Chain A
Amino acid sequence: MLTIDQATYDRIVAHAKRDHPDEACGIVAGPEGSDRAERVVEMVNAAGSPTFYEFDSTELLALYKDMWSRDEEPVVVYHSHTATEAYPSRTDIGLASEPAAHYVLVGTREHGNNEGPVEFRSFRIVDGEVTEEEVSVVPHLLPLTKE
């Protein structure tokens, strides 16, 4: 299950709506091993396309170096589908390379840039296998328990 706080959910949805009809993409980083989606990083879709997304290679390196320096990892990798259902395509599956991440798909085909509900679905993609999981939107993530 993906647990995500309302503010993070809203930011991802707003990003997807803003970039429609192009695919929007980004990540939510969190402490390594914590499974906590804490820090949204909107990325530029270097493909600038309604049917494809790709992080710019230089920005990709900067993103990972920043995460490494904070002991973070990508907890969520998100992108939008603007004309098709919010389900990973064959290419999405083939290129998925973060087995520990939640792959979030936002579908904007119904309302585009406008107000209105979107599809918001989460998947695990491991070794080419897709498993959909429940999404639980909570007001706030629980505070980290200190050992």
Chain B
Amino acid sequence: MAVEVRIPTILRSYTSDQKAVTAEGTTLAAVIDDLDANHPGIKERLIEQSGLRRFVNVYVNDEDVRFIGGLEAEISDGDQVVVLPAVAGGQG
């Protein structure tokens, strides 16, 4: 169940500057755990207690995972996972 995970510039310090890495798992949560096993610390940047961090977007095959089950989103062999930080800002 290997998938490719596209890593944004800001998180490449965890992946030795690799733009994409492979990970395994049948749910997004499992994929992120596997990512963290190989790239310690990255999970913390993606997830907080209540789930996916508000300003981190994760897509599976171009679908924002918020619309397909969040961390429970199902992952199949060969899926494309993309992580992109939100481009956002505001007062305060």
Chain A residues proximal to chain B, CB less than 8 Å: 23, 25, 27, 43, 47, 49, 51-55, 57-58, 60-61, 64, 73, 77, 79, 84, 88-92, 95-100
Contacts and interface: CB of A to CB of B under 8 A. Distances in A.
12 contacts: A27-B87, A51-B90, A60-B86, A61-B64, A61-B84, A64-B84, A84-B91, A91-B90, A95-B86, A95-B87, A97-B9, A98-B87
B89 A53 contact: yes
Contacts of A27: 87
Interface of B: 8-10, 55, 57, 59, 62, 64, 66, 82, 84-92
The binding surface of chain A is classed by DSSP as mixed
A89 B91 contact: yes
Contacts of A91: 89-92
A92 B89 contact: yes
A58 B91 CA distance: 24
Given A61-B82, A89-B89, A100-B9, 12 more contacts: A23-B90, A25-B87, A51-B92, A52-B88, A54-B87, A54-B90, A61-B59, A61-B64, A79-B89, A88-B89, A96-B89, A99-B10
